[in-house]
Amino acid sequence: MENFQSQTAQNRYDKARLAKNNGAIQLSNKNELDAEQLAELMLKVANLRCKVSFAKLFNHFGPKISAFGNQRLHQQGLAMDLVQETMTRVWTKAHLYSEDKAAVSTWVFTVMRNQCFDMLRKVQHNKEDSFGDDIWPLFESDDAESNEDDFKLSGTLLRHVDELPPLQRQIVQGIYMQEMTQQELADKLDIPIGTVKSRLRLGLEKLKGFMEKHYD
Amino acid sequence: MIKYHPQQELLSLHIKGELPLSMSLAISAHAELCGTCQHKLNLMTASESADVFDNHVEPNISVDLDSKMSFLLAQMMQNTLDELDAKPAAPVNEGVTEVTVKDQSYPLPRAFRHQINAQWQGIGKVSRLRLNTGEEHARASLLHIAPQGEIPEHTHKGSELTLLLAGEFSDEYNTYRPGDFMLLDENHQHSPKTMTGCLCYTIVDAPLYFTKGFSKLLNPIGELLY
């Protein structure tokens, strides 16, 4: 079952496991499981929906996730939320786990980190979004096609320019499309340069308003 | 060959989930285009998870925590797990996998699939689609420059990240290809130009200040360009 990889991180990981296993013998900690035991439990959860195996995974990872959450989330109660959310996903997404791609602890870490990222966004920005799994995929997606692309293209700035009052439009077009200077425009239109400036300012503010309202 | 990659430190913060959304999107999209960095990230994630889960001395489990854990587990075993299995799978929202601008379509890296909620806006050859990352000081956008287009010379107050997603562009320093990841600070002036058109992801952490001729006037909307 051992796969020999020459990658440094993998070596470090094996060493870490080895050290932990030695420690575990001394401490005889009943919750400490090695990588193979964890993989076996994951498979049972994925294929047999085995709750006993899930409970073992819970006891193994729960306190570790809670410790990570305490460090990261700085808020009472959120660490337990992180445990609950992470372990819920371990149950519902177990079928996505592949032994060939990652160790169980790496996979659970990914699930936890993604969840924690979304929770932090909620705390810091009050945003109810879940982008973690987009940024750090849990598995290789095989759903390449999606034709429900209802993305529509409309409303360029140029069209907004046409919506400006004529006097402002004249100035904005002169400066941005004909690349004239303010003085050239003032001369051409026979108006004071101050008027050019104020019409330009008004026009730009209006354009900014047109554009910004799409983002609010 | 991609010549410009995120620094090691950024990769390391990324796998820990400690970067803001705008920058996490950039690293994820870069890795999707760059096998080397993706491989690095995979190894770093394995190593980080070992640090977090395996190398730590077992935390002192207080009686309080222990009882909370037992309660949660009991709850999940008795109800939650069955409820989760009984619930029909929620429809997967694939989000947006492609953007079209100026009659050109580009596939989007998966990190962006739920970030596209606005429309393209622009003047002339330059179009911008702002992402609403909710960050106060950073403006994240997709930026499209049509063939033969350029951005007037400008410096940045604060830094600017440009990740080229498709096409090519050049500035005073170099020519870039998809996947190139460039962080410029306020000391750099540049005026990117493209022959065949390009799509970039950009983050600026303060408004742009144009430094050349008539385009100074663009300042009020210069802020909107990126």
| pLDDT tens per residue across all 216 residues of chain A | 344 444 444 444 444 444 444 443 334 455 578 899 999 999 999 988 999 999 999 999 999 999 999 988 887 789 999 999 999 999 999 989 988 889 999 999 999 999 999 999 888 777 788 899 999 988 543 332 222 222 222 234 556 777 888 888 888 888 776 767 888 888 888 898 888 888 888 887 777 676 555 443
Q: Per-residue confidence at B58, pLDDT binned at 50, 70, 90?
A: low
Strand locations in B120-189 (E): 121-123, 126-131, 139-145, 154-156, 160-167, 169-170, 175-176, 181-184
- What residues contact residue A124 under an 8 Å CB cut-off, 6+ apart? none
- Which domain, by its residues, includes A69? 8-135
Q: What pLDDT, on the 0 to 100 scale, is given for residue A197?
A: 85
In a domain, A107, yes or no: yes
Q: Smallest Cβ distance to B111: which of A19, A68, A135? A: A135
Residue A96 CA, distance from chain mean position: 19
Q: Both A101 and A31 in a single domain?
A: yes
Chain B residue numbers touching A173 (CB-CB < 8 A) = none
Q: What pLDDT, on the 0 to 100 scale, is given for residue A30?
A: 53
Domain count, chain A: 2
Chain B residue numbers touching A55 (CB-CB < 8 A) = 73, 77
Higher-scoring residue by pLDDT: A121, B225: A121
Q: What pLDDT, on the 0 to 100 scale, is given for residue A159?
A: 65
A212 contacts chain B (CB < 8 A): yes
Q: Both A172 and A122 in a single domain?
A: no
Q: What pLDDT, on the 0 to 100 scale, is given for residue B188?
A: 75
Q: Which of A73, A104, A135 is the last residue of a domain?
A: A135
Q: Both A41 and A75 in a single domain?
A: yes
Highest mean pLDDT among B18-32, B133-147, B187-201 belongs to B18-32
Residue A7 identity (one-letter amino acid): Q
Q: Per-residue confidence at B63, pLDDT binned at 50, 70, 90?
A: confident
Chain A residue numbers touching B44 (CB-CB < 8 A) = 9
In a domain, A216, yes or no: no
Residue B224 has pLDDT above 50, yes or no: no
Residue B156 has pLDDT above 50, yes or no: yes
Instruction: Name the DSSP class of B86.
Output: H
Q: Both A194 and A128 in a single domain?
A: no
Sign of the CA dihedral with B41 first, then B46, B49, and B51 last: negative
Tens of pLDDT, residues A123-153 = 877 778 889 999 998 854 333 222 222 222 2
Do residue B134 and residue A62 have CB atoms under 8 angstroms apart? no
Q: Both A99 and A163 in a single domain?
A: no
Chain A residue numbers touching B19 (CB-CB < 8 A) = none
Q: Smallest Cβ distance to B77: which of A55, A110, A117? A: A55
Q: What pLDDT, on the 0 to 100 scale, is given for residue A8?
A: 43
In a domain, A24, yes or no: yes
Give the whole-angstrom CA distance, residue A103 versus residue A3. 12
In three state form, how does the secondary structure of chain A look?
Answer: CCCCCCCHHHHHHHHHHHHHHHHHHHHCCCCCCCHHHHHHHHHHHHHHCCHHHHHHHHHHHHHHHHHHHHHHHCCCCHHHHHHHHHHHHHHHCHHHCCCCCCCHHHHHHHHHHHHHHHHHHHHHHCCCCCCHHHHCCCCCCCCCCCCCCCCCCCCCHHHHHHCCCHHHHHHHHHHHCCCCCHHHHHHHHCCCHHHHHHHHHHHHHHHHHHHHCCCC
Shortest CA gap A25–chain B (Å):
14
Q: How many CB atoms lie within 10 A of CB B199?
A: 24
Domains by residue range for chain B, with CATH: 98-225 (2.60.120.10)
Q: Both A121 and A162 in a single domain?
A: no
Q: Which of A69, A103, A135 is the last residue of a domain?
A: A135
In a domain, A119, yes or no: yes
| Burial bucket for residue B89 (CB in 10 Å: 0-12, 13-18, 19+) | exposed
Q: What pLDDT, on the 0 to 100 scale, is given for residue B179?
A: 96
| Token pair in block for residue A1 | 């079952």
In a domain, A152, yes or no: no
Give the whole-angstrom CA distance, residue B204 versus residue B22. 10
User: Are the C-beta atoms of residues B70 and A124 closer than 8 Å to each other?
Assistant: no
Average pLDDT over residues B163-186: 90
Q: Per-residue confidence at B180, pLDDT binned at 50, 70, 90?
A: very high
Q: What is the mean pLDDT of chain B?
A: 85
Interface with A, mutate which of B49, B65, B150, B216 (most A CBs under 10 A) = B49
| Token pair in block for residue A188 | 């051409």
Q: Both A125 and A185 in a single domain?
A: no
A140 contacts chain B (CB < 8 A): no
Residue B217 has pLDDT above 70, yes or no: no
In a domain, A200, yes or no: yes
Q: Per-residue confidence at B208, pLDDT binned at 50, 70, 90?
A: low
| CATH number of the domain to which A207 belongs | 1.10.10.10
Nearest to B17 by CA among B40, B44, B54: B44
B216 contacts chain A (CB < 8 A): no
Q: How many CB atoms lie within 10 A of CB B187?
A: 8
Q: Per-residue confidence at B91, pLDDT binned at 50, 70, 90?
A: confident
In a domain, A80, yes or no: yes
A55 contacts chain B (CB < 8 A): yes
Nearest chain A residue to B30, by CA? A135
Q: What pLDDT, on the 0 to 100 scale, is given for residue A160?
A: 74
In a domain, A145, yes or no: no
Q: Which of A101, A135, A169 is the last residue of a domain?
A: A135
Interface of A with B in 156-185 (CB under 8 A): 156-158, 175-177, 179, 181-182
Shortest CA gap B118–chain A (Å):
7
Q: Smallest Cβ distance to B53: which of A64, A116, A176? A: A64
Q: Both A182 and A100 in a single domain?
A: no
Shortest CA gap B190–chain A (Å):
21
Q: Both A130 and A164 in a single domain?
A: no
User: Are the C-beta atoms of residues B116 and B132 closer than 8 Å to each other?
Assistant: no
B15 contacts chain A (CB < 8 A): yes
Q: What pLDDT, on the 0 to 100 scale, is given for residue A31?
A: 55
Q: What pLDDT, on the 0 to 100 scale, is given for residue A151?
A: 25
Chain A residue numbers touching B72 (CB-CB < 8 A) = 62, 80, 83-84
Nearest chain B residue to A45, by CA? B81
Q: Both A170 and A113 in a single domain?
A: no
| CATH number of the domain to which A23 belongs | 1.10.1740.10
Shortest CA gap A139–chain B (Å):
12
Q: Both A125 and A202 in a single domain?
A: no
Residue B126 backbone phi and psi in degrees, to 5: -105, 125
Nearest chain B residue to A103, by CA? B46
Q: Smallest Cβ distance to B47: which of A9, A113, A121? A: A9
Q: Both A40 and A115 in a single domain?
A: yes
